[in-house]
Structures are given as C-alpha cells and as structure tokens.
A and B are shown apart, each in its own frame.
Chain A
C-alpha cells in the first residue's frame, strides 16, 4: 500500500526494512570493504553501471546507502550520496560541475572552510569565485557571468546567521539555467526543505544537527533532480561524454540522478572521501530523533534568547528569530518553525569579558563544533581569531566580545544558571 509517510516516520524508517534472513530491526552495520560477485557477468554489470548494487565501499555500501536514501526521502530529493565530512561533500559538488575556466558566485558570509575552498584552493585549479552579499539577490544576479556554473550559499550563514532569500535567488538561478547549491547544515530538512523553494542541490555537514550527538563526522550531497543539465557546452561533465564507462552521458542515462551518478563515478572513485559504515550507523541513529531534537533545540533557543536579550551583562544578541535581526522577515517566511539553534551575542567588557565568561561556565562545553545535543560555546576573539585585532575582526563581520552559542537540549534552567555563573565572573572582572 502506498502511504506517503510523513517526516517523523521517514526519519525513523526511510532507507531500511528488516531483511527476511535476520529480521534485524536496526540497520545492520555492513563493516566490509567489498562484496562477493555471483558471476563475472554480475561484476561487469556493476562496473558498467548497468544496474545498481555494491562493488567496493569507497563507491557505495549498504549501511551508507540506507543513510543516503533516508536523506533523499527527508529532503524530497531524487538521490543522495553520503561522504566523510561536510567539506568533502562541498568539494565533490564543485569538482563534479566545474572545470578550469569556470566561475562560481558564492555568498560572502559563510563558514571559513567553505570560503577558503572557493577563495584559495579552487583558483589554483582555474575555478574562480566572486563573493557577494547573500541578502542581495540583485548582486547575485549581477555577478553571474556566461561561464558561471553554480551559485552557492548557506541557508543560515555560519557564524553571522544571515538568511538567504532562497525562493528569490532560486528564481534568478532558474532564469539563467544555473544550479543553486545550498549548504543546509544549520536548518536541516526539519526546519526547511530547500528543494520546495526551488534549490537544486543540497550540501550537508551531517556532523552537526543531523547526526546530532557530536560523535561522528559525515557529509552528504542531496540531488533535487530538478535541474536540466542538457546544455552540453555549459555542463560537459554531466551531459557530455564521461572519460570512462564507454563515454557515458550521465544526463542522458540517469536524468534526475545524473549529478549523483557523476559524483560516484568520478569523485568517489578518484578522490575517495567515503563515509565509514559505522559512522553512517551513528549518524542514522541521530536522524531517528531529528524531529524531536530540533523541536527542543528551537524551544531552548527561544527561551535563551529571552534570557539574553533581557540580561544586564549582554551588549547585543543576534538571531534571525529576533525582530532586530536584518533578515527577520525572510526568516519568518522560509523558516517558520525557527531559524536554528545558533545564537551570537556580545558580553559587556569586550574581549577579556568573553574570555572570562567562557572559562567560568561549567555545563556548556568550550569547543569548535556546533549542533551537538549538548550546549556548546566558543569565543572567537580568544581562540580561532585571537591573533586578529578588534579592527581586523570587524572587517570579517566579527566582534571581539562575540560568543557563538550552540544551544543544546539540557534543562533550560540549568543552562541559564550556568550562564549566570559566567556573567558573575565577568562582573567581577569589570569591577
């Protein structure tokens, strides 16, 4: 019977039904590198991409495939591919679509490694990027050139929390026949499904909220299947002849799943950023409770926002769900369930105050990750950006009093109490 299961059900079930032999309810961890072929014919048909199946875990694996199919179902995509990290996913997409001489338009307000890859690494391979303000669809339109092969941005930017107007930008990309690629790490499909707003490709760091417990690295590319790659001159790597497999055209033979087929046949084959089956299992465990966790993440975030906005020791608070945020209206429109659980705030007393706060809290962990079930904090001014002057930090959109907070699932009063401990230390310092 066809049921068209809803999001919460798919989070638990998509990608796996118990097999008849073992009845294993959980997705088994297929901790294997390779698979026995029943015949030389079967082996050949897998190598030739005649039919689906597994031949070597660098290319695909049954546990990883269950995760991929769960992600495809949750995003409403045609197909998905999981890999070793969010950055691996990003590189797989860029390298599948772009070649030397090509151009990318990207948001200027993104996670450092996303910026670095496009600003410093890809130009060495002849792929240049123009960075534009993600809140300015006209600027994106103006930056598109005849050799632009994709537009890239983060739905919710890290760490500035700028919100992209996805439907507006998708319209522009669509009219120019350029795929819109979005990093949807901070929203997850629970808060917003970018394909519904016209995006074409999604990149995830599964390390964050999707996995949700800070125990396993992982990334994914989800392919909307809604982009026409048919222009052979513009997208020769997807619709032109491939260097192997008898000169296959992925677009002609796999249509909506052409991009994923290309990434498996080239990116996974030749670069090899495969996800370990055990990590795929851990990430899937996380996804099972994604809807519950995201609901609580948002509840706690809203409560902490109230607390911080009204706190005498807090200079400023930034979150798209606050009406003081410049992108509040866009956030309300495309992220009605909430715009994620990252908050940026400034403590009265500048860099030293930030440092004192971080060193005095007990429950919140001081570390470099986000999206854990536990509350996490970092003070860029005394860690990642400690070598920069206040002025230099400002140029990068950061201030030296800024704390980045990833709100966890603890009892909200315990988090508030913990923060009071931090504020008390700052007060002492300010005296």
Chain B
C-alpha cells in the first residue's frame, strides 16, 4: 500500500493482504540498500498465515520517495512514528542486517513494549570497510554489485534458487538499483557509525529470536554469536547460507519464525 507519511509518498508491502491493525503485526525492516523485496518470500507467507504484515520501504528505498535517513537512530525514529501513525497494537519487529540495528534502537526508544524481536543475519554492530564506504559514494551501482556478490553464499555463485528460474545475483542487483542512488551510502554510514548496540541488546526484555548465517561475510557469524550472548534468553539458529538468508533459505527461515511466533500466542 502507498500512504502519505510525513508528507512523503511511502510504500509499505503488506504481503498481498490488507492491513488489519487488530491482528498481531509483523514489521519487517530491510537491510542496507535493500527494500521490501528482500522479504519477497516472507511477506506473503506470513500474511497468508493470518498475521498482519508491514514491510516498509524506508525513505528513498524501493517505491518510497523522500531522503534517506542519516543514522540508525533516525531510521528507528521514522519506524517508531510509522507504527504510531498506523495505530498498530501488537507488533513483532523482524530485522535483516541493518534492519537489526534499527530494531535494537527502536526497542530502546519505544514508549511501549514490542511483542518480540527477531534478528536475521544480524549483530549489535556492522562495521563497513572503507573501500565499500567510498565506492558507495562514487558508484552506488558497483557497490551494490559487490554487496550482492559478497552477501550470498554458494547458492549465489551457482545460481541455485528455491524459487524456480530466479537468480540471486540478477535479482539482488536490480532490487538495489530500484533505490535512489544516495540510499546505499547513507545506509552504510549509518551502520558503520552505530555504536550503541551493546547497551541496546542488553536491555531487551521481550522474547528474542536470532537466525544467523554460517557463511555470512557482511555480518560474520562470530559477531552474530557474540551479539546473541548479550540478549537474555535469545533463541538462536544457524543456517548454512550467506548473508541474504531470507532469499537463500526462505523455507527454513519461515519455519523457524513461525514456530517462534506460535510460542508467543
């Protein structure tokens, strides 16, 4: 759906069902330089399982207009305002990559409690190397291509896909190209600059789930495992794939999230 949010055209994927604020809502937060399409195989799946689903395109990403947020804090405030604007009641936040940092920060600034937090291929910190930071400024398309290549496990290299006929690389590159050229640069800087992750992780009181990737070259498994140690009782799973876990292992991820959610009810 497209809404006018803070005077800006904003797209929110709802998984093909209309938003019902009385149901438990799953709010998916995309990663750096991504948009709602990084959750293609989650949005419809959970919407058809009876949840309300929102997958916002952050400003300047996907089908949303506006200027990119310039820090994780700004991203979190934007999401916070959106949740209030949509009058959502029970919300579970599911972040992927940068979306995990935004989820951490959102949990810190929220006036009320979330139902649960889910971290996919995440950590409390995402340092970005200087080469990629520079490249994202000079040539965002090239930087996107490098991220797509690094970000996938062997399934990316070999064009292996559960979705018949789809190519992780070809699709991934084009998803990133849909964003405004400045989006990636601000996202990567936001990740690199964020340093409140440890404190934010320690104060999590709601049920938490982490699904990490064994061959993650963007948020390495080692970092993810340190991160989950900071969270009280974080249910943790490790899948054999790369950073783009939602499209590399959709069935396994959906099943893990589904059983975690069923325990909340």
Q: Which residues on A are within 8 Å of B, measured CB to CB? A: 1-5, 10, 13-17, 44-45, 48-54, 60-62, 64-65, 68-70, 72-73, 76-82, 224-226, 230, 245-248, 252-257, 260, 264
Contact = CB atoms under 8 A, between A and B. Distances in A.
A73 B155 CA distance: 12
Given A4-B157, A5-B157, A225-B171, A51 B164 contact: no
A3 B157 contact: yes
B164 A256 contact: no
Given A69-B161, A80-B165, A256 B48 contact: no
B174 interface: yes
Contacts of A252: 11, 13, 63
Given A69-B166, A79-B171, A15 B177 contact: no
B63 A72 contact: no
Interface residues of B, number: 46
6 contacts: A2-B151, A48-B16, A52-B162, A69-B164, A79-B165, A247-B16
Given A15-B159, A15-B160, A52-B41, A246 B17 contact: yes
Nearest to A51: B41
A50 B41 contact: yes
> Among B35, B41, B154, B174, which residue has the most Cβ atoms of chain A within 10 A?
B174
A245 B17 CA distance: 10
A82 B41 CA distance: 22
B167 interface: yes
Interface of B: 11, 13, 16-17, 35, 37, 40-41, 43-45, 48, 62-63, 149-154, 156-167, 169-171, 173-175, 177-178, 215, 217, 242, 250-251, 254
Contact of A68 (B154, B164, B254): B164
Given A2-B156, A13-B158, 4 more contacts: A1-B215, A2-B242, A53-B162, A69-B160
B159 A10 contact: yes
A253 B175 CA distance: 12
Contact of B13 (A62, A72, A253): A253
B170 A52 contact: no
B2 to A, nearest CB: 9
Contacts of A255: 35, 37, 40, 62, 171, 174-175, 178
Contacts of B63: 230, 252
Nearest to A248: B16
A78 B166 contact: yes
Contacts of B154: 1, 17
B10 to A, nearest CB: 14
A50 B166 contact: no
Nearest to A260: B165
Contacts of A256: 37, 170-171, 174-175, 178
Nearest to A44: B48
B48 A60 contact: no
Contacts of B157: 2-5
Contacts of B178: 255-256
Contact of B44 (A17, A48, A230): A48
B101 to A, nearest CB: 23
A404 to B, nearest CB: 33
Contact of B152 (A2, A65, A260): A2
Nearest to B41: A51
Nearest to B217: A2
A8 to B, nearest CB: 14
B195 to A, nearest CB: 28
B170 A225 contact: yes
Contacts of A1: 154, 215
Given A15-B158, A69-B160, A256-B174, A52 B166 contact: yes
B164 A257 contact: no
B43 A14 contact: no
Contacts of A264: 164-165
A141 B182 CA distance: 32
A4 B167 CA distance: 13
Contacts of B173: 78, 225
Contacts of B43: 253
B170 A72 contact: yes
A210 B164 CA distance: 20
Contacts of A44: 48
A68 B160 contact: no
B147 to A, nearest CB: 10
Contacts of B162: 51-53
A230 B152 CA distance: 28
Contact of A78 (B16, B44, B171, B215): B171
B151 to A, nearest CB: 8
B234 to A, nearest CB: 26
Contacts of B45: 45, 50-51
Contacts of A14: 158-159
A82 B165 CA distance: 8
B164 to A, nearest CB: 4
Contact of B251 (A3, A4, A51, A78): A51
B47 to A, nearest CB: 8
Contacts of A16: 158, 160
A257 B158 contact: no
A78 B158 contact: no
A180 to B, nearest CB: 16
A358 B43 CA distance: 61
A15 B158 CA distance: 6
Nearest to A228: B178
A79 B167 contact: yes
B166 to A, nearest CB: 5
